[in-house]
Structure 1
Amino acid sequence: MTSSAKPGPRERLLLTAQELTYAQGVGVGVDALLKGAGVARRSLYEHFGGKDGLIAEVLRRSTAEDVERYRATMDAAGADPRARLLAVVDRLGRIAAGPDFHGCRYLAADLALTDPDHPGHEVTRAYRRTLHGLFEDEFAALGHVRPGSAADQLLLLVDGLLAAGATRPGSDPAAAARELAGHLIDACPAGAPG
C-alpha cells in the first residue's frame, strides 16, 4: 500500500497562491494565502522572503505551465505555421468562454502591481518575450518579411481577446479575434512590402 506524501509548506503555498491569485488577483491577502495553504507566516518568509517573492514565483511557475500549453497547442495543430497560430487563437477563445475564466493572470498582475520594481513585472515581461518569440518563429516560417512586427500584433490581439473575455461576459471575442488573426496571418506574404 502506497500513500502519497503531502506537499510541504513551500509547495502548498505555491499551489494556493496560484489558485487564489488567479481567482481573486494578486491583491489577495497574506492571511488568506496562509490559511488556504495551511502554513504559518514563517513559512512564507522562509521560502519566498514575503508576499512579493511568492507572487513572482507563482508567475514564474504559471509561465512555465502556460508556455508548455502554447507549445502543445501549436504542435497538435501540425507543421503548418498558419494552422499553428490559429490553433492558439482558437484555444484561447475556448478558455476565455469558460465559466471559470478570470482573465489573463499576467495582464492582471501588471495592472495590480503598482510598484514598477516589483519582481513580478520582470516575470510577466519574460513571459511576453517568450510568446513573442514563439509567434515570431511561426511568422518567419510563413515567410513574412516582418515577423517581429506580426508577432507584436498577434500578441496585442491575444491580450485583447483575453481582456474582452474577462470583462464582457456573454460576448464572443473569440470569433472576432480569429477573423483578425486570419487577416494578420495572411496580410504580409513573403516578398510583400512591409
Structure 2
Amino acid sequence: MTTRPGPRERLLDAARELTYSQGVQVGVDAILKQADVARRSLYQHFGGKDGLVAEVLRSDGGLDRYRQVMNEAGDDPRERVLAVFDELDAITSQPAFRGCRYTAAELTLTDPAHPAHAEVRAFKEGLHRLMAAELTRHGHPAPDAGADQLLVLIDGVLAHAVTRPGARPALAARALAEAVLAASK
C-alpha cells in the first residue's frame, strides 16, 4: 500500500508542475487545488507563495541533472561538455518543453526582494562553476570566460527553442561549444 505524500510534498509537486506549465504567476488557488491541501498548509510550510516558488527552484535538482548527463558521458571533459548540448537537444525537442524555469522566474518576478531571485542566481553560478571546472580539466586558457560563453549558449538554446519550436538550436550551439573547447588547444 502506498502512502499519499504529505501536504508539503504535494504543494511542491503541484507548484513545480504548474509554475513550469503556466509560469510563476499561476494562482495560489490553482496550486492548492492540484495539491489538494488547505491554504493554511501553504503558509505553514512555506510562509506563502513566494517561499513556495523559491523552494521549487531550490529543490528542482537542475544542477544534479547537468552533473548526471556529464557523468554518463564519461571522464573526458570535452565529451562531458558536449553531452550537455546533446541532452539539451533532446529536452528542447519535447512537445511539453516550456523553456528554462529559472530564467522564466527571473524575468517574471519584478520584485527585486523576491526570494526566488537568490535561487536563480545560485543555480546559474553553480552551472558556471560546473562548466569552468570542466574547461579547467580540459586545459582551457581562460575557463571562467569559456564558462561564460557556454552559459550564453545554454541560455540561448533554452530561449530559442521556445520561440522557434523545431529549430533544434542545441545542434547549432553544440558546434559553437566545440569552438569554445578548441581554444584549449
User: What's the TM-score bracket when you normalise by the shorter of the two chains?
Assistant: over 0.9
96, 100, 103: which one aligns with 2:96: 100
Q: Once the two structures are superposed, what CA deviation does each residue of 1:47-75 show, in whole Å capped at 9, x if it has no partner?
A: 1110000000000011xx22111111111
Give the Cα separation in 1 of the matches to 2:170 and 2:129.
Answer: 23
| Aligned twin of 1:80 | 76
1-structure distance, mates of 2:184, 2:63:
27
State the distance in 2 between where 1:72 and 1:169 align.
26
Determine the structure 1 residue equivalent to 2:114.
118
After TM superposition, the score normalised by the length of structure 1 is: 0.93
2:125 matched residue in structure 1: 129
Q: 1:12 aligns with which of 10, 13, 16?
A: 10
The TM-score normalised by the length of structure 2 is 0.98
> 2:57 and 2:14 mapped to 1: Cα distance?
13
Q: Distance in 1 between matches of 2:141 and 2:115?
A: 35
Rounded Cα–Cα distance in structure 2 between residues aligned with 1:80 and 1:180? 18
Q: Which residue of 1 aligns with 2:25?
A: 27
CA distance in 2, matches of 1:175, 1:144: 22
Letter of the 1:189 partner, please give it: S
Deviation by residue 1:24-53 (Cα, 9 ceiling, x = unmatched): 000000000000000111111111110000
1:91 alignment counterpart: 87
Helix, strand or coil for the counterpart of 1:4? coil
Structure 2 CA distance for aligned equivalents of residues 147 and 172 of structure 1: 27
Q: CA deviation at 1:170?
A: 2.3
CA RMSD in angstroms comes to 0.9
Deviation at 1:185, TM superposition (A): 1.2
SS in 2 for 1:35: helix
| Alignment equivalent of 2:135, drawn from 104, 119, 139 | 139
Q: Which residue number in structure 2 is paired with residue 184 of structure 1? A: 180
**Stretches of structure 2 lacking an aligned partner (at least 5 in a row):** none
Q: Percent identity?
A: 57
